[in-house]
């Protein structure tokens, strides 16, 4: 695919509905093969709804960056400034560390540079904010995402669980020192 030109900027409350739509379209793509449609729907309704994005965008500990192509949001990354819980905290070697909570782009944007643009903007924000590292969780079956994060200097440092509906999934914890 060819690279597209996207503008990455901070999202605002006015973007909540569009971000929720992107989240609903992209989250199922990152789920492990054994995730059921019902559990995925529960997660989308509970965690990725328009109302929840309104809460995220109002939370001073969260920053949502959006990737816009033309007039359409085609991806986003959500960053959280909070101390990770155990056992994740023990796996992260330096502080302060900024969490990449969610990072998704629409299927038509895969391979276009949109994800790279979001990651570069997130890393810049973290460096400018004085963070020593960034961390994230990625499903152990999501090889594509793991390759992307490895390409961006993230290294596997541990594991954690992630609840989707009634199912518990297993993630790798990955860290990038800044």
Residue 103 and residue 119: Cα distance in Å, rounded? 9
Q: In the CATH scheme, what is the homologous superfamily, with its name and number, of domain 7-177?
A: Gcn5-related N-acetyltransferase (GNAT) (3.40.630.30)
Whether the predicted pLDDT of 3 surpasses 80: no
For 31, list phi and psi in degrees, rounded to 5: -75, 150
DSSP 24: H
> What percent of the chain has a predicted confidence (pLDDT) above 70?
99
The pLDDT tens digits of the residues spanning 85-136 come to 888 999 999 999 999 999 999 998 888 899 999 999 999 999 999 999 999 9
Q: Which of 95, 30, 17, 84 is nearest to 56 (CA)?
A: 17
Q: Tokens for 139?
A: 């499903």
The percent of the chain in helix, strand and coil, each rounded to the nearest 5, is 40, 35, 30
- The pLDDT value recorded for residue 47 is 93
């Amino acid at each position: 695919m060819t690279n597209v030109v996207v503008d990455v900027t901070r999202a605002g409350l006015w973007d909540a509905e569009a971000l929720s739509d992107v989240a609903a379209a992209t989250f199922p793509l990152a789920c492990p093969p054994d995730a059921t449609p019902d559990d995925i729907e529960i997660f989308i309704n509970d965690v990725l709804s328009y109302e929840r994005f309104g809460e995220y965008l109002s939370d001073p500990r969260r920053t949502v960056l959006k990737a816009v192509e033309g007039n359409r949001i085609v991806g986003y990354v959500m960053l959280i400034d909070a101390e990770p819980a155990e056992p994740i905290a023990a796996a992260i070697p330096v502080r302060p560390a900024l969490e990449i909570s969610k990072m998704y782009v629409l299927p038509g944007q895969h391979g276009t540079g949109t994800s790279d643009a979001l990651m570069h903007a997130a890393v810049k924000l973290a460096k400018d904010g004085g963070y020593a590292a960034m961390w994230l969780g990625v499903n152990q079956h999501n090889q594509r995402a793991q390759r992307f994060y490895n390409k961006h200097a993230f290294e596997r440092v541990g594991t954690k669980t992630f609840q989707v509906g009634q199912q518990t999934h297993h993630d790798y914890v990955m860290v990038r020192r800044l």
